[in-house]
Amino acid sequence: MKRNIKTIAVAVIALVSTAFYAHADSKPFKELNSKEVVMNYVGASLLGNSEYTKEMFADNFEYSNTANNDKFGKKDYVNYLNSVKDLKYNSTQTIEILDQVGSTTISKVTMDFGSFKRVDYITLIQSAEGWKINKVVTTYP
């Protein structure tokens, strides 16, 4: 089961990346729905796929970690994701869209590393450039 989830996630991320590559001159997130943007986030944060990280986040993006009260803006978080490029974490993940009303979506990504879990609550907003991640709050239940 774990292997199937990983295989499906990698296949979808590869498909999305291929679609982005084919339309390199266009806005890469313009045609994606909110779940596809969240899947791209998972690809960047867990699977080391750092393509289009800058375009994935809104200009006023904020990341916060409740375990240590760290907060970062778009530039710092994109630099972090680029620094872990090609680093793949051994975890299983589930993606849930908790609520979608109008131009706002709240989703939950649960990452199970075996000895601990990490949960990211992701807020997305829809703009003229497509769905963008506005905020990520990380917790460790």
Supply the CATH number for residue 57's domain.
Answer: 3.10.450.50
Task: Provide the residue range defining the domain that includes 27.
Answer: 2-139
Dihedral over alpha carbons 134, 116, 112, 100 (to 10 degrees): -30
pLDDT tens digit sequence for 119-134: 999 999 999 889 999 9
- Average the pLDDT over 66-70 and give the result: 94
Tell me which of 106 and 5 has the higher pLDDT. 106
- Long-range CB pairs of 5-12 (<8 Å, 24+ gap) are 5/92, 5/93, 5/94, 6/92, 9/39, 9/42, 9/43, 9/47, 9/93, 10/47, 12/39
Does the pTM exceed 0.85? no
Domain count, the chain: 1
d(CA 92, CA 71): 25
User: In the chain, what percentage of residues exceed pLDDT 70?
Assistant: 78
d(CA 36, CA 31): 10
The model's confidence at residue 12, banded by pLDDT at 50, 70 and 90, is low
Contacts of residue 104, Cβ cutoff 8 Å, sequence gap at least 6? 123, 124, 125, 126
